[in-house]
Every structure is written in C-alpha cells, then in structure tokens.
Amino acid sequence: MLPEHIVRSISFVRAMCSLSSWFTGQVGDGRENALLEHVRQTSAKGDPQSVLQAADAYSQRTWFMNVGNEKGALVDAAVRDRNPKVALELGTYCGYSAVRISSQFQQPESLLISIEKSPPNAEIAKQIIDHAGLSSKCEVLQGTLTKRVQDVKDILKKFDQQFIDFVFLDHAKEFYLSDYLLLKNEHLIGPGTVIVADNMGFPGSPKFWKYLKNAEELETVSHKCTLEYISWVRDTVAVSTYKSGF
C-alpha cells in the first residue's frame, strides 16, 4: 500500500485537474458524500471537535478543500479576537470551516451566514453542521452573494446590526474582489469588520491582493502557511481589519 501522503498528493492532483469542480463545486468522484458518511459514522453527534477530527482524519487519504487544521487555527484565532455577533462566510463546501467558525462563538446569539453556490454542497454542509449540533448558529444559504445579498441585509436588520463583524472569503478566487466591493458598497461592512481571505498564496487571487496592498480602509496582516493537507504547496491567509474613519 502506498504511504498516506503519496495517496493524498495524488488525490490533490486529481482534484486540481477535475473539470467537474468548475461547474458543480464537487470533485466528481463522490468524495464529498463519502466525507458526510464518514463524519456521521465516526464522530460524536453534537460534538464539533469530534466532527472536525473526523473530517481531518478522512482528509489524510482523500484530499479536500476544507481550510484544514493549520489555516483553520488562524481562522479560529481571528474569530475569537473579533468575537462576532454576525459572521459571513463565502464558500461553505462541506461545512468544515462553518463548524470551526461557529464553534468559536462566545456570544450565545451569534450567527454565521454561510453562502454556497453548489446545491449539493449546501445540502452536505447543512447535514454536517447539524451533526455537529451547530444548526442554530449557522445558516447556510444556497447561491452567491449577489443573489443572497438581500437575505444578508434582512439578517443584519434582525440582529439590529449595521455591519457584519467577521467575513471569511473562501469561494471562487476571481470573486474575492468583486464580492468584497459589493459588501463595501452596500455598507454591509465597515469599521471593525475583520475580513479573512484564504488561498491568497495558492491558487491566489491577484486582483484582491493588489487591492489589499493599496486599500486605505484596510489594515492587513498576511500569514504564510501551507495548503490544506499538502505540505509541499505554500499558501497565505490574509487577515484585514476595516479601519475607523473610512
């Protein structure tokens, strides 16, 4: 039997070459449904840590585009520091980062809105989040930010909040900048909002990087790390804070 890291690397390369994921958000070999089954069978219901451990364990042989443990710890720390009441994630996939983010909430009423374009991924994520016991802290909306922006506004209104406190960008890299600008132009983000952008190193989001480097309203710290579950690919997570006075 081949060593685990070789099997995982082959699985990663296959996922990178998958045409299906461009259209469906899934790799095309059923791995996302298999992850759901694995999580259900091997983790304790109502226990987010157990769910994350099960997902990470399954990702040792089959590669997944979950944020993973190393970058996940950076996301956890940013959530804890900001202590959000309303958080937004773009790109739910199977719900791994949604479980991480919502399990870090310190306020009982906090909510994560997670937007996922792919209908099957949104369904899988809802089931994994439910298994983790976090359905009341995490609302998965199927679609894109453009299509669901009114729902985001309605939720903020219910919370009597002007701005989203925390945003995690982890969807199609070519939409990082336009979706950031949509949030900004709609005044859904503002002073105090923390924006975490995954995959700024690989596969990268050059337009958003360029914007971050010149944006007067943002103060950005970048964290060098490796790609989820693949130690030979370098990645960067950017953590930006929206400054006051803009």
Ligand X SMILES: C[S@@+](CC[C@H](N)C(=O)[O-])C[C@H]1O[C@@H](n2cnc3c(N)ncnc32)[C@H](O)[C@@H]1O
User: Which residue's Cβ has the minimum distance to ligand X?
Assistant: 25
Min dist CB 147 to ligand X, Å, is: 9
84 binds ligand X, rule: CB under 6 A: no
87 C-beta neighbours (distance < 10 Å), count: 27
Q: Is 130 among the residues known to form the active site?
A: no
Q: Are 205 and 171 in contact (CB under 8 A)?
A: no
Q: Are 65 and 15 in contact (CB under 8 A)?
A: yes
| Residue closer to ligand X (CB basis): 165 or 170 | 170
Residues 83 and 77: their CA atoms lie apart, in Å, by 10
Min dist CB 174 to ligand X, Å, is: 9
- Letters for 144-183 (x = contact with ligand X by CB under 6 A, - = none) are x-------------------------xxx--x--------
228 C-beta neighbours (distance < 10 Å), count: 24
Angle at 47 between CA 31 and CA 39, to 5 degrees: 15
Phi, psi dihedral angles at 195 (to 5 degrees): -120, 120
Q: Is 37 among the residues known to form the active site?
A: no
Q: Is 199 among the residues known to form the active site?
A: yes
How distant, in Å, are the alpha carbons of 21, 122, 124 from that of 25?
Answer: 4, 10, 12
Residues 198 and 58: their CA atoms lie apart, in Å, by 21
Count interface residues toward ligand X (CB under 6 A).
19
Considering the candidates 117, 137, 173, 184, report the single residue annotated as catalytic: 173
Site residues for ligand X, 11-70, by CB under 6 A, read: 25, 65-67
Min dist CB 63 to ligand X, Å, is: 12
Min dist CB 145 to ligand X, Å, is: 6
235 binds ligand X, rule: CB under 6 A: no
Q: Which residues of this protein are in contact with ligand X, per CB under 6 A?
A: 25, 65-67, 90-91, 93, 96-97, 115-118, 121, 144, 170-172, 175
